[in-house]
Structure 1
């Protein structure tokens, strides 16, 4: 499809200086690189008298010059000020009468093709009041996760990494506030902190996630929040993303680059865009239908709000198309699609679709041991296990960090993507045999491990 974007460039202008050309024709390049001729008009020449009216150096000559300059200034100033006043008046008249006097350039009486309709609507340039109303419902989310990697000797090492994202307060009950965000914001987090509009922070925990829709819910105990903060924060008003139209005002609020809440504005560029992204843990490709906007969406904005001119949340900011040739292509999950999923996550911690789908889940994260790495460090080629999820099928089967999966059910595995693809084609409850290489000093021994695959919700 023409409106489908692949995941290669997701994370998730200069113009040539103007020149005055004294020529009848110049050649430029259009945006496709084709040469295009463009005509320009030369400035008209003004004929001057061949001889001076007065002799050089005389007092009269100087007086004449002063008088001429003064008169010229007065004339130019008069023209400029009068022109400015006239232009301002003309602009005001145009603004107030454009809808009544607008007409088509067509001279035909034919009604085969209608003229476009005009509107009294104006462009929203000041969104400060809208932002002031919505900002108390937006939070910043900071996560801490443990990253595993293989060193040059094939041994597993780990380090803590910190991530930044955003969230929207969407619901509350007697005990908790519930915050909507992206799954990729909280995925793999060992701890997370929520920062409210008054800069106060509390610890949060994951209530539920849905990787297929890239949605998650974080909950915060109301008892952990100061009364002063409770009086400042608000629950967001959710809008109807099904009723938005291309050209509508779009305002994005989020924790851009982890610097704190910031605001960008733009319009709805397109609706129903099919965007394909990749799950960082499983490597699985997922396609969702998203809202496209030119409001700037940067790392840290993920999970924040895309709102309309009325201050209603119409989308959850998710990703940006990043490329040196691309500018102004951000995407958000439509709130009308997200709302029922978020409600299920709040109530059950999972969605019925994911629990009943039978999708298999192994419960590991890893990296590729490429052919070059294998040769350089005397390691078998395959999928290196960098993390085993607690309580997962992988942990129950005895898989551990540092092992390298080299085959599944007798089929060779040369990358983590190979392993992920095989698992995604299986069903929860299936039993598979993994061949793994285990480091034993400078050597590797192999063994077969039987794993009964779990569900994504386990």
Structure 2
């Protein structure tokens, strides 16, 4: 058969280089795979350690903070009372105590006499004053020094201190304020505050010398009962009424307290106590003080001119309303010679119905307008004379001094 006749050839054998075979086996990616496996294992181990450390740190910190917090609370609760006791012992939290200590040294006693020589034994301190400049300037009430020629000031640095002679720089009877000067330096001076910021209910601390030297530096406290109380003081020589803003307080202001300081919780002087202003009230629990903003203007004028310069019309007047109530204004009762009103041509029985382009209904309104002007200003006005309206221009002169 054909198949049986196949020729079978012997296959040739070749020798294989075992070294090459080993090299081929060694280059199989077996070793590379083994290194990567080890690297991954190491990374996993490191990550596990980091997670364990981080978790342990958080847990430990939380436990430690809780323990520390509990210990601190325990320590604070045990030492709270002793710490507060120590603080209260060293630093008083009472504002009245702080104000009294700071301001009392700025408040002086004032004694007056008409004698040329006034001995200490006959001293009777009739009022108080406030040092407002360290070189010896003192503000007080005018009625404290009125009708006397000799004034002694007793400082607050002890009963054995020698009283100082004081001279009168100037005064203003209308506002009941006066300024004195003693020959001394480096005196403790009070700080004037801003009375426009005072509100009803604020703490009010009055410091003065009620009933004489024995009670010098007395302190009473209360609240501000009312602000911008309108006190109207009439000048008897002119009939002109001047309006002042004052504080009402329930802090006791007794005889001798006049001219003393009314302070706020910060130790700032917000008012000057005045018994005269409240004299007509005569009600217990009602004290009055001239607001410091009003007082500062008056003090500055006294320091500059020795008096307060106020504008002046030169008329005496009264409120007027016609029977049919159609005409309201002020009736001219008197015209002073050589005044702005006289020179302008205003006459008795004229009815002034308009002043400075403002329709008048009362003499207090006229005075309020006057207070906004100064000496020398020329003010337009209208009067009704014999049923006709007449226009005038009035040049304001200076109000003459008076002892109201």
TM-score by length of 2: 0.49
User: Bigger radius of gyration, 1 or 2?
Assistant: 2
Q: Whose strand proportion is higher, 1 or 2?
A: 1
